[in-house]
A and B are shown apart, each in its own frame.
Chain A
Amino acid sequence: MSSAVISTSAATRRPFLFDAEATDANEHCHPERSGQCAKRIARGVEGTLSLPDSRLAGVTPASRLEIRPAPEMVPSGIAAIDALTGGLPRGCLTEICGPASSGRTTLLLAALAAATHRGEFCAVVDASDALDPHSVNAAGVDLDGLLWVRCGESSRKLTQQQRKRENRETRTNPSEHRLEQVLRATDLLLESGGFGLIVLDLADLSPQDARRVPLTTWFRFRRAIEHTPTILLAIEHQPIAGSCSSLLLQLGSQAESEPAREPSHSQLLTQLDISAELIRSRIDRKPARSVKFATKTAWAG
């Protein structure tokens, strides 16, 4: 039978709890000291039991310690993804990885459409200036509620000296310059607050470039959105945020590798078959599992 024994911490002089069975085990391990230990514990017990109740008032039993509440999950806009993950967690970083044509942008636009339909303001920090306005519109995103930050070469008017300096920077490493813009813009948007969904579109950056983002940056982003209703969504080629992401989804396409035999004019791209695998979830600790879903093209009807 397990019974709680109350002792007093030497450092804090506050009582704490430990298990009597552990002391019994100690007794068996160190028989020569067992008598002294038992006496000391007995003195502690007597002394503590004689304490007035007011001294125990400040003690929080372990069973009542505050547990961090689970984040609110909101629909991602794709039913299959919601069934897999429970939705997208607010106040957390979600990573969506996959190669080209794996449905990352489709999922991103579906999440944007769902968020704007909820009346939230969204922001897309586009590292490669790759967003297609017609796709955004076709996905049902409310364009008034979407802020698009197109990173890349600056189009502002510069003095000759500034222009030379900027050219030198961008020529030496344009992707680094672009990445710097993405991170600074994201920092500013997170600091500004009030957005329901902020998307970092790093999908076209090579894995080598994307890995240049230090882990401390992801940690900072995670801390910035913690306890806020903002969802931070990053789409990329390979996972790069490490343990900072609460949800990690790997997408892949199910395209046929066999060359088609029919004439080209008789074929029509109508849908993409996507497989989504849940790699990691801090919210719902269940084994990895996957779903499949199809996306249709705007002209498929």
Chain B
Amino acid sequence: MPFACIYVPNFSMAAALRAEPELQARPVAILEGKPPLEKIIAVNEKAGASGITPGIPKAQGELCTELALRSRSPLQESSAHAALLDCAQSFSPCVEDSAPDTVFLDLAGMESLLGSLPEISRAISTRAAALGLQANVAVASNPDAALVAARGFPGITLLTAGKEAAHLGPLPVEVLFADRLEGDQRKEADRLLETLDRWGIRNLRSLAALPEVSLSERLGQEGLRLQRLARGAASRTLVPVEVPLVFEEAVELDHPITLLEPLAFLLNRLLEQLCARLGSRALATQELRLTLELETYSSSSASQLKNNFVRTLRLPLPMLDAKVFLKLLQLDLNAHPPGAPIIKIHLAAEPARPRSAQGGLFLPPSPEPEKLELTLARIAGMVGEHKVGALELLDTHHPEGFRMRRFVAEVARRVPQKQNPDAAQAASAITALRRFRPPLRATVTLENGQPMHLVCNKKEVKGEVLWKAGPWRFSGDWWEREAWSRDEWDIALKTGEAIALYRLVHDLFAGCWFVEGTYD
């Protein structure tokens, strides 16, 4: 029964590099502690080569001018851990969340689906790299052997069943205590390591070869457990977890951002990470929620306040394209700027099943949803959010009884309607009204209660009324404060050489006359 272990060495550093991939080319150190007592807790290889070691104070690290110092970020680490779980979940439903940097997978039965164990291991490693994590992957017949191998060997390791002890033999005994980093556990680990060192036991092969009874007499059950681990013979069952479908990425900024351009760079990174995570779970998103923590100062005192600026991007269809999301967020932020320096960015995606669309040779053309969404956002930025979209008539007799709603190019709904061609040809076209928005205020001369002459601020719409029909009385919403009552007239006026037909309205409440539109 094969198990895989995904282990991310130097996890806090890996989380920082995942958030800022451009730091990989530079020496980097992670700081922890309250200023001014901050200490370096993790360094990358380049920093190690420059003589920076964990445990030295920040001031000493700053002597290295090239060193990039970053504070430890629990937000980044939790995002990296969520990404690690997503990576594991994309290969097996049975996943154990053992530590922030370690995840176990049960690979039983996966070979027929995903290929041989070496192929699965490579795929896991590639997927983890795509999610921004350089992980060690080990596959063994039991979880503990896989864990020891993942901690001890870089890259991909496959332990043949029954030969675990031989494979793990060269590893130093410190591998067994890698998870005991703090407090009493650390002290206990140091004591055991000192004892083993005094005995001359420096690798797992030596520990595995010790007689069990003698080891038990000297180190107790803990000694026997360590020996079983060294032999790769420990056995336990996985404790699977239900990985929640929470897709969130966040970044805390050392220096506040005031411009949208640098914000776009950070958003791009977060969106790429989110899309990679959603993609690994075969999901898309229909809603993106951007929360920006802003740095503001109260006018009365110089104290710094924090308030959140939230923008929600709702999409008509599930999508998974980081570039489209970035452009949409940029357009949205251009229209609604945050208004204060940004100190923290939090981006969450609501997962949704990806849309499935079957194209057809004989289907009419339709806009690509991603392109259309960008186009609509750009047009909305130009003409206004509520001035672009599809029409929806309201259940009212009010002449302007409609509202704008989001335009969705859903191909599935649009089936060509079969119409009898003869009937279509025979039907007359319906005379359309063109509205003047706002209606043109008019001065009307009446004769026997009927309009005879019209003067309007639009120069074409004035003159003698040649023909008139009406009045047609309409009223509605009398139970509301916005009650309306009006008389409508259809009139003909001479405009230049031609005659034009207009709708003239007498507002009975306000007593005003308006030209509402022209029949065209």
Contacts and interface: CB of A to CB of B under 8 A. Distances in A.
Given A101-B500, A130-B517, A265-B470, A149 B434 contact: no
A62 interface: no
A184 B122 CA distance: 49
Most buried by A among B335, B426, B430, B450: B430
A138 B393 CA distance: 11
Nearest to A101: B500
A213 interface: no
Contacts of A109: 429-430, 432
B383 A151 contact: yes
Interface in B383-416: 383-393, 399-402, 404, 407-409, 413-416
Interface string B164-178: 000000000000000
B282 interface: no
A143 B501 contact: no
A157 B518 CA distance: 32
Nearest to B466: A259
Query: Chain A interface residue count: which class?
Result: 35 or more
Contacts of B497: 99
Query: Chain B interface residue count: which class?
Result: 35 or more
B335 A156 contact: yes
A181 B384 CA distance: 11
A184 B437 contact: no
Given A143-B391, A149-B379, A192-B375, A295 B435 contact: no
Nearest to A267: B469
A107 B429 contact: yes
Interface string A131-145: 111111111101111
Contacts of A294: 428
Interface string B62-76: 000000000000000
Given A101-B520, A132-B434, A264-B489, A154 B368 contact: no
Contacts of A195: 365, 367
A272 B428 CA distance: 11
B462 to A, nearest CB: 13
Interface of B: 335-337, 363-368, 371-372, 374-376, 378-393, 399-402, 404, 407-409, 413-417, 419, 424-426, 428-437, 450, 460, 466-471, 489-490, 492, 494-501, 517-520
B375 A106 contact: no
Given A118-B364, A132-B434, A159-B337, A148 B500 contact: no
A193 B518 contact: no
Most buried by B among A147, A157, A259, A296: A147
B367 A264 contact: no
Contacts of B413: 144
